[in-house]
Amino acid sequence: MPTFTTDHQPAMSLSAPSLTTANVVGSDGSARLTGPEEISTERLLLRLPVYDDGVALHEALGDPLTCSFLPHRPMRNLHHTRDLLAGACPRRDAGLHSYVIAPKTRTAAGIGIVQMGPDGEIGAVMVRTSWRNGFVTEALGAMLETLGARHAWCICDADHEAVARALARISIVPEACLLAHRVHPQSSDRPRDCLKFRGTGHLVRL
């Protein structure tokens, strides 16, 4: 799972999403295994990844600054980025939800990606040219509302303050501090302190 970059640091307004398929939330309020192929917000279309997204998303996944707080180094080349995207759709049946973020003005042009795993772990990354627009917050909030994921969680570098502010807007708050938890090689070769965030159970529309 990718870890967060946000709109304000090196890779989050939410409107009610409209769906291309219905009934993606279970009767008990839990997220069902397979979500819709598309989710629409006021400004964005979230859609399944395709091969042609590789070029645009490599701009984010291959960028050292964007990957500052990720637990892996930037993708070495476009081929590796395309391999990552190629594995996303088959894993939908195992509960991995992956959506490319595209502006409604250019739906073929991916500018980022949001994901949620079968255990509710979430992550996102955004190309640097699209930072500071609230796109990650809007996309992530729409995905979580659509999937009924009220207690989604993630782990982020403790120094990545923009993440805490962005997640708070959609009711995802710090749950625990994890000391020397994970190496983020673009920032340090030593394990770094991290924060674990979890949804409060209240999905918020911004």
Has residue 35 been placed in a domain?
A: yes
- pTM beyond 0.85: the answer is no
Q: Number of folded domains in the chain?
A: 1
> What's residue 147's pLDDT?
92
Instruction: List the CATH number of the domain containing 151.
Output: 3.40.630.30
Has residue 205 been placed in a domain?
A: no
Instruction: Point out which residues pair with 54 in neighbouring strands.
Output: none
Question: CA–CA separation, 132 vs 199, rounded Å?
Answer: 23
Per-residue pLDDT of the chain (206 residues), as tens digits, is 444 444 433 332 222 233 333 333 333 444 445 689 999 999 999 999 888 888 888 878 888 777 777 777 778 788 888 887 776 665 776 788 999 999 999 888 888 999 999 899 999 888 888 888 889 899 999 999 999 988 999 999 998 888 888 899 899 999 999 999 988 877 788 999 999 999 987 655 54
Has residue 108 been placed in a domain?
A: yes
CA 94, chain centre distance (Å): 18
**Domain containing residue 33:** 18-199
Has residue 48 been placed in a domain?
A: yes
> Of the candidates 75, 99, 76, which has an alpha carbon nearest to the alpha carbon of residue 89?
99
Has residue 158 been placed in a domain?
A: yes
Has residue 74 been placed in a domain?
A: yes
Q: Which residues contact 63 (CB under 8 A, 6 or more apart)?
A: 74, 127, 128
Has residue 122 been placed in a domain?
A: yes
Has residue 4 been placed in a domain?
A: no
Please, are residues 173 and 198 in contact by the beta-carbon 8 Å criterion?
A: yes
